[in-house]
Structure 1
């Protein structure tokens, strides 16, 4: 098997790309996934990717929330983050932010909290999962 990103990494959408003016919780991403062959894939590493389009007004604070049970959520501790969570404004069109997560919580989601918006901004967030215990990763 070739050592490629395709075989070693999975990307899961948490906040779909959309024009946003209000707070939103992203879709939960489970770090333990069932593979096509019935295996349980555990991803030992994760990264939040926030990608922006046009931000017309307001400030859009992005946070990463974590959970053990996909029910009780809390902000990821700063000690478990690599890089800084972005606060997106009108000067942040067409940018990509990368924030690593080194903690052990099973479920992750992006959260946005806009303020001062009228027309808002276009952006989304993806959770990138890596260092799986089963290779190659399943694409199911």
Structure 2
């Protein structure tokens, strides 16, 4: 069996919170990709209680730790697409993922609801791989 645990590092992206019942954008934590050769955002939905809401994911990058001057990640710097990482009211208890292979040091994602009058339950985690130094710390810091 191959060891995967010591090759991955995890950081919270979207912490679980009470349901969002409006169209307030959910903004992830900012991930510093320094020391890792790859990063993935994994998102999990809960029960979405609206009949027509959509939830669009956008992905930004910057060399500034506060995301100053951030720009949208180019399609060539993603594995997957923002369309595949987005979801609708019909995607109860599903996972989505999008990867980053760009050259900027910091990344951040936003989930923007539209027509949401029900409950949005969402959580997410950053997964970093290909560490410059292994094994990665446990528990992750």
TM-score, normalised to structure 1's length? 0.84
CA RMSD of aligned residues (A): 1.7
1:29–1:108 CA contact under 8 A, matched in 2: yes
Give the whole-Å Cα distance in 2 for the aligned partners of 1:29 and 1:17.
17
- Which sits farther off after the overlay, 100-109 or 15-24? 15-24
SS at match of 2:47: strand
1:62 aligns with 2:57: yes
1:7 aligned residue: 6
SS at match of 2:5: helix
SS at match of 1:17: coil
From 28, 35, 49, the counterpart of 2:30: 28
Residue 51 of structure 1: aligned partner? 44
Partner of 1:36: none
Which 5+ residue runs of structure 1 have no aligned equivalent? 33-41
Equivalent in the alignment of 1:122: 121
Aligned residues: 130
Following TM superposition, by how much is the alpha carbon of 1:17 offset from its aligned partner in structure 2, in angstroms? 2.3
Q: What is the alpha-carbon distance in structure 1 between the residues aligned to residue 72 and residue 118 of structure 2?
A: 27
Q: What residue is the counterpart of 1:35 in the other structure? A: none
Q: Is the 8 A contact 1:110 1:125 kept in 2?
A: no
CA distance in 2, matches of 1:8, 1:61: 30
User: How far off its partner does 1:53 sit?
Assistant: 0.8
